[in-house]
Amino acid sequence: MTTTPSVIKFGGSLLSDAAARGAFLKDVAKFSKKESVVLVHGGGPEINAALDKMGIKSAWVNGRRVTDEAAMAVVEGVLSGQVNKNLVGELNARGVAAVGLSGRDAGLLTATPVPELGRVGEPAKVRPALLTALIKAKFLPVLSSVAQGPDGGALNVNADEAAAALAVAVKARRLVYLTDVPGVLDGQKKTLPEIRAKDVERLIADGVVTGGMIPKIRSCAQALKKGVKEINIIDGRAGLTAWAGTRLLP
């Protein structure tokens, strides 16, 4: 089995879709027998639900959630606690030796604060030693995108940006984003089969790509630039094997 992993990001948008979640976990269990995998997950809707319960409203800037101290505590509890541990439990129930981590473990992901967004960070440094050790020992790391800030506190990193930074650091053979749409859609809502890195900013400026798709395609462009060869944004509602979606090209 190769120890060069695929990094797979499972969108928070799919977590509460029981069929998609079941298909995905089944596919990961199968896939991970042949190839090493690092899983990164989001949790947008779960975080929204928890913040709603507490009466905390979120604002968004370019697909990133403005996160004050109180919201950060909720984000970390939901992402690194509830969402992460449930995925790990379900994988382990399928015979996978999954290990749940966040970017705060062993310095896996350090982020630079984006103070105008509160406790939000941008990936700054990945220390992949723990991932490498786990992969070698045939464990499957499952990561939330909560990162370590320079003050030792938690920073909320968009899970797509975290996945891209991790993929670069572990020299991933492939980076796959599973989300709740059939890839990146054009102005007529048709899937774009391919996007070139040089076209990413234009798609955003033209308003074709908005919201959560912004950090996704920006992080793809970054990862391509830093050497990840194969990147796909696919429809995660069909499991991991359908591969219906958009391929990002240099």
Residues at the contact surface with ligand ATP, assessed by CB under 6 A: 11-13, 42-44, 159-160, 179-181, 184-185, 208-213, 216
Taking the complex as a whole, the smallest distance from the CB of residue 2 to ligand ATP amounts, in Å, to 27
**Among residues 45 and 107, whose Cβ is nearest to Mg ion?**
45
Residue 124 interface partner, choices ligand ATP, Mg ion, none, CB cut-off 5-8 Å depending on type: none
CB of 205 to ligand ATP, least distance (A): 13
* CA geometry: angle 214, 65, 45, nearest 5 deg: 90
How many chain residues interact with Mg ion (CB under 5 A)?
1
Token look-up 């069929």 returns 19
Contact 41, 83 (CB under 8 A): yes
Beta carbon of residue 160, minimum distance to Mg ion (angstroms, whole number): 5
Q: Least distance to ligand ATP from the beta carbon of 208, Å?
A: 5
User: Which does residue 179 touch among Mg ion, ligand ATP, none (CB within 5 to 8 A, set by kind)?
Assistant: ligand ATP
Question: Strand 140-144 relative to strand 60-61: parallel, antiparallel, unpaired?
Answer: unpaired
Nearer to ligand ATP, 137 or 205 (CB): 205
CB count in 10 Å sphere of residue 104? 20
Position among 118, 149, 212, 245 found at the interface with Mg ion (CB under 5 A): 212
| C-beta of 44 vs 149, nearer to ligand ATP | 44
Instruction: Decide which of ligand ATP, Mg ion, none touches 180; Cβ closer than 5 to 8 Å per partner kind.
Output: ligand ATP
State the nearest-atom distance from the C-beta of 152 to ligand ATP, in Å. Answer: 25
Which amino acid, residue 175? Answer: L
Q: What is the DSSP string of 18-57?
A: HHHHHHHHHHHHHHHHHEEEEEEE--HHHHHHHHHHTT--
> Scanning the structure block, which residue is given the tokens 């089995």?
1
CB-based contacts of 86: which residues, under 8 Å, 6+ apart? none
The residue at minimum Cβ distance from Mg ion is: 212
Q: What are the structure tokens assigned to 40, written together? A: 């990164």
Three-state SS at 173: coil
Residues contributing to the site for Mg ion (CB under 5 A): 212
